[in-house]
Structure 1
Amino acid sequence: MPATGQTNVAFGGIKADPTLPVEVTADSLDVNQADGSAEFKGNVRIGQGEMRISAQRVLVIYNQDQSTIQRMEAVGNVVLVSGPDAAEADRADYSIDTGVIVMTGNVLLTQGANALSSNNMTVNLTTGTAQMNGRVRTILQNDGGN
């Protein structure tokens, strides 16, 4: 049954480390030296420790001195996988320094046989938790009372 509000859930089964190196692969890369950004396009795959993100396009924004990644914006068929959990959305914004990923647009979280959907989900990789907001809907499997 759909509900409006916020639902807190565990995510990933493990705490992730946002200070680990970020590996990105894609079909193409466009670098903008002027604003310190890089745009990866086509079959983009991001890996950081146990966390994986895939999308059609990812914009990487560096800090002012362009020494570290500040944030990443993933768009198009975004899939986030951490440990046993997976989430899909239209868009994901990952703030590297805080370890927070905000997923928006048709969010679907799958945890084993259970599924939850919502308008948006905020994942905190460092605590291994997530909050789902806006028209939260869930389907919970049970064992039939056995």
Structure 2
Amino acid sequence: MQAALFPALALTLCLIGAAPLSAQVMGFGGGGADTDAPVELSADNLTVNRSSGEAEFSGNVIIGQGEMRLSADQVLVRYAEGDTSRIDSLQAIGNVTLVNGEDAAEANEAVYEVEAGNITLTGEVLLTQGENIMSGDSIVVNLSDGTAQASGRVRTVLQPGRD
């Protein structure tokens, strides 16, 4: 399914009703995120394993990149092979919350592939944009173009525009 603007999705769903779909696309974060910005991490605890190129942050983990914020109970950071100064991916586990602009998502787990600019949220995923809500088993957020694609028993609640 081609990436679509949120208003087009809203209009389509209003016309056909908010029935569950197998896959659905909506905007996230009001456009692209700055995936070239530095990634900042903070947590109560940190364990580093140089031989595996991994670091584990636990307890009140907060990750920021540009205007995007991700929080979780635990985050496993995998560094690029041969370059521990460059993050390859982040795996967030437990009470995951992602905020980008006025949009927010909650899930049990998230995997952020830094170079690709994709975040895959799984497990009781809930995405909110103002009063509009989307839930599903899995939502993939593309930070480069600001789209999100949901799959697995998707449910959407769209509020009509207010004057």
When normalised by structure 2's length, the TM-score is: 0.85
> Is the Cα–Cα contact under 8 Å of residues 53 and 79 in structure 1 kept in the other structure?
yes
- Counterpart code for 1:39: E
Compute the RMSD of aligned alpha carbons. Answer: 1.4
What is the number of residues matched between the two proteins? 145
CA drift at 1:33: 1.0
Correspondence for 2:26 among 2, 5, 9: 9
Point out 4+ residue stretches in structure 1 off by more than 2 angstroms.
Answer: none
- Counterpart code for 1:23: E
Q: Which structure carries more helix by proportion? A: 2
Q: Can you give the 5+ residue segments of structure 1 that lack an aligned partner in the other structure?
A: none
- Counterpart code for 1:57: Q
Partner of 1:52: 69
Aligned mates of 2:135, 2:26 — CA distance in 1: 12
**Correspondence list, 1:93-108, <5 A:** 93-108=111-126
Aligned partner of residue 13 in structure 1, secondary structure: coil
CA drift at 1:143: 5.3
**Correspondence list, 1:60-99, <5 A:** 60-65=77-82, 66-99=84-117
Instruction: Give the percent of matched residue pairs that are identical in Structure 1 and Structure 2.
Output: 52
Single out whichever of 38-47 and 60-69 deviates more from structure 2. 60-69
Single out whichever of 114-123 and 134-143 deviates more from structure 2. 134-143
When normalised by structure 1's length, the TM-score is: 0.95
- Counterpart code for 1:142: P
CA drift at 1:138: 1.2
> Is the Cα–Cα contact under 8 Å of residues 14 and 83 in structure 1 kept in the other structure?
no
**Correspondence list, 1:135-146, <5 A:** 135-142=153-160
Aligned mates of 1:131, 1:61 — CA distance in 2: 25
Q: Can you give the 5+ residue segments of structure 2 that lack an aligned partner in the other structure?
A: 1-17
Correspondence for 2:133 among 115, 137, 140: 115
